[in-house]
Structure 1
């Protein structure tokens, strides 16, 4: 019976945790691809080339060197079907050395390094465990987590290269757990103060290895589930005079599916921004529904520090309810 329930749990969490019953849901680690915190999800997860506002090295590790000050972020997602998704991040940049200007004065740094670390926690709770007579014997929960640290170096005012080290931990059932380590690599090119380009390769060597011999004994087995290798090309443009930011990217999944994302952010008044995005536009399969999202962000000064509050409303296909994301950002 334990084998039966483990199989049910695995099917349940991989297909249901983000409510996407389509060809994309077959890929391992779907929780890590839903997005990171409120701003990113509101803008359709198209932040791989965005260098304005609250920056996220989760989408592109090369971004971390463009951060200003010390940044903290905490996010909470309200999902249906007893699911959870939470975010935590910290980021900071560092100036390395100095170089002389045309007049011989030590002014600009030789290079700027950045670090961006965080946690993504997800899970499903309240799963009923029943025996072969259909009698409930308890409740089961699963937990899937990602711990990451991104580092980057800005070699000039225009180019930054970064690497993200990712550690995955999945607790499926009792003694059935798995860990995995993967890498992201990214580069961003700042053409000018308005236009940026980026390229990111995600989940290099990321995979889960399952060993069920502790649970099944001689009937146990070793199983390997690989994450999809993803390649992203991204661009963003900031219209300074009207406070409008546009972002777009295309992402390829193992050469089988190609997705397009769009995002926009409009600064209505100082400190208040409206956001909208479109994620999951599959140009390889038009039958897969897209995921629009909307949100806003508000920032104000608190005790000489910048405090931001973000909210996002996202449409989740195949789920009985759509989802909400709340986030708090603090900059020292």
Structure 2
């Protein structure tokens, strides 16, 4: 009989929590956007607003959650990261509205290669050959999935515009990941404070575009008609707002309690389940090309995670040069991990400073 210790149960619980929250987010988002496709910006605004409210509630009920006070100087410094965040979220929502749930991962498959590219430009460094290899594998998987196929009817094929939205979403998410590192110091290196600024700022920036897009007028007309889709839209906004907040917490817990590699494998398992549920719930069309594309993208992503885990492993301790110590009066042994200052990146990973 297998004995499960408390740590094993904790890891299993966190991974299950993360996968469940992520799956609920994707499928409820898709269901609402299918029923109310003309209200994508208002739908996103509701999610952001609910996240802000829940952060306030968490701060009021726990001393471990601290919400920042409004500071105009800090707000100005965070304008770039907030702007890039909301633009990426808008394109992400528009992409999901236009593609099948099982195809969503393929449409946003260029996120990893673009993140590697943007990060290299920002740091002015050249990625390792293994990292480049992982990016090439994921890119091949993306093109395999979007390539025309005779087994897919024209009506079931994703539009070029939806694929373009997915590409832009991946690009802005990659830029956002780079901007977060430079933005964290403005929030005392607190991911919770940055999350509050990001959600609140994104909601403020999005509001004028909701008005310009005529979505408030459409809601008023739906109320006048007693439209059933409006009830689905309201409940969907509430559910995705709550689960969006939970997903943020679950992602941080998954990496903290497990490891980046385990987190990536749980993400891969979630993607497979998401594809199968998309076929069962929404009757998505899953061809050999699409299945192979998802498999290749997952392989490339997991290979990248494995490569990064190897690169971040501590170097073996070197023997102390006693002769050097005698000459200089100090130990010239390289620093160990205990001597290195650590900080936290956008996803909760500990990285060397």
Query: TM-score, normalised to structure 1's length?
Result: 0.27
Larger fraction in strand? 1
TM-score by length of 2: 0.26
Structure 1 or 2, whichever has the larger Rg, is 2
Compare relative contact order (CA 8 Å, sep 6+) and give the higher one, 1 or 2. Answer: 2
